[in-house]
Amino acid sequence: MSSTLIKNALIINEGKSFKGSLLIKEGLIAGIFPEGEVLPKADVLVDAEGKWLLPGAIDDQVHFREPGLTHKADIASESAAAVAGGITSFMEMPNTHPQTTTLEALEAKYGLGAEKSLANYSFYMGATNDNLQEVLKVNPEEVCGIKVFMGSSTGNMLVDNKETLKLLFSEIPMLIATHCEDEATIRHNTALFREKYGEQMPFRYHPDIRSTEACYRSSSVAVDLATRYNSRLHILHLSTEKELSLLSNRLPLAEKRITGEVCVHHLWFSRADYDRLGARIKWNPAVKEESDREALREGLKNNLLDVVATDHAPHTLEEKNQAYFAAPSGGPLVAHALLAMLALVEQGVFTLETVVEKMCHAPATLFRIEKRGYLRTGYHADLVLVDPKAAQTISDAGVHYKCKWSPFSGQSFAHSVESTWVNGQRVFHKGSIDASVRGQRLRFVK
């Protein structure tokens, strides 16, 4: 494998920004050289003057729809979109067909990853009301975590048996990632709004059905269980200000037992956007009030919230372009999540260092991923080169997603991802994807 020297970049890493160069050799970072140091020779030179060099982003929550739902998306198409957006590693959810609730199904999915994924990959094992013994067989060094749907969403994998939840939290030694929405509250709200508005209910009431109370009731149960049994709990896609009261920033991330994720759409959109975008921003949990969005942004800055992810969950436009109750929840985000976060930097909401911390470093630390997420000598060379002056406007026609649409369609961004390297191989460059590159299975230090 040839060596590559990326020269004269603004390197953003571990809370610092400095001009320098980085050497890739045999798939690893072989050296980092601040400006002024003597540079080594390399087979390939990349002049990154005026560009930003970041670690590859790590997305801890995606739905790539394979197997069984490949009319919406598949591992090849969505991993290509991910690397085009600067995401070099992903962790994928179990609500596929078949569901990933047995070791056999889990290993079959890892086989698909090895065959098709352009990015590095891991897959969650899914919990059900009756598969605890199968879950306990999972090797924590080879699997990112156990997914528990404490609220129903796409795929109907609801775990609602109280005794099962008790056993899961008391016996599982590895990270438990939860979708938290109270099913009884949602059903009650659904009946009320269906009676009032019928099948043509406006999308703006989605956050009233998937309400703050539905989220908080479920999240608080998860936190109570994790506290009682000292479980490693990671609450996915937190969407409300109220839920932040369940989290703490008193310990460094590596020592936390209870952690929280926020998704890009909950940091970007608010209820005011439903009338314009409708089903395109229908997610579970729902995008809620502007006050929730502002609180989530503050929670990320003050370390109540630990990581930023996408909950990338494509559906076809035909599926989405239906009335409220028929339109499925979820949307594609991996290609534009980093750009959206950089736009929030431009708006003064976050710093570049915070974006790198929450999208690159923190997922690696939280999941204890082996030698990824940081620009360090000896780590895998998962890298993203951003051009801060290459403005672009997103369109449905230009996306890499198989579903061929984006909730950001029509949005202009000041930045572009110029190049992405996965394990030292440049898989994306100026709009072109090298489909021959394959990512690696993520490994975890437990």
Pairing type for strands 57-62 and 87-92 reads parallel
What sign does the dihedral 321-59-420-48 (CA atoms) show? Answer: positive
Q: Does residue 263 sit in helix, strand or coil?
A: strand
Q: Does residue 221 sit in helix, strand or coil?
A: helix
Which single residue is written with the structure tokens 């099948």?
A: 199
Burial of residue 434 (number of CB atoms within 10 Å: 0-12, 13-18, 19+): middle
Q: What single-letter DSSP state applies at residue 441?
A: B
Residue type, 257: R
| Helical H segments across 100-140, by residue range | 103-116, 132-135
Q: What Rg, from alpha-carbon coordinates, does the chain have?
A: 21
Which single residue is written with the structure tokens 């980093």?
A: 338
- Count CB atoms within 10 A of the CB of residue 260: 26
Q: Does residue 171 sit in helix, strand or coil?
A: helix
Q: Does residue 190 sit in helix, strand or coil?
A: helix
Is residue 224 annotated as part of the catalytic site, yes or no?
no
Lookup: tokens for 334: 């991996």
Q: Under a CB-based contact definition with an 8 Å cutoff, are residues 46 and 93 in contact?
A: no
Lookup: tokens for 436: 């021959």
Give the separation between CA 163 and CA 171, rounded to whole angstroms.
Answer: 12
Q: Which of 311, 387, 396, 434 is catalytic?
A: 311
Q: What single-letter DSSP state applies at residue 207?
A: H
State the first-to-last Cα distance of the chain, in angstroms, to the nearest integer. Answer: 31
- Estimate to the nearest angstrom the gap between the alpha carbon of 373 and the chain centroid: 14
Helices vs strands, H then E, count in the chain: 14, 20
Pairing type for strands 233-235 and 412-413 reads unpaired
Residue type, 446: K
Burial of residue 234 (number of CB atoms within 10 Å: 0-12, 13-18, 19+): buried
Among all residues, which ones are annotated catalytic? Answer: 311
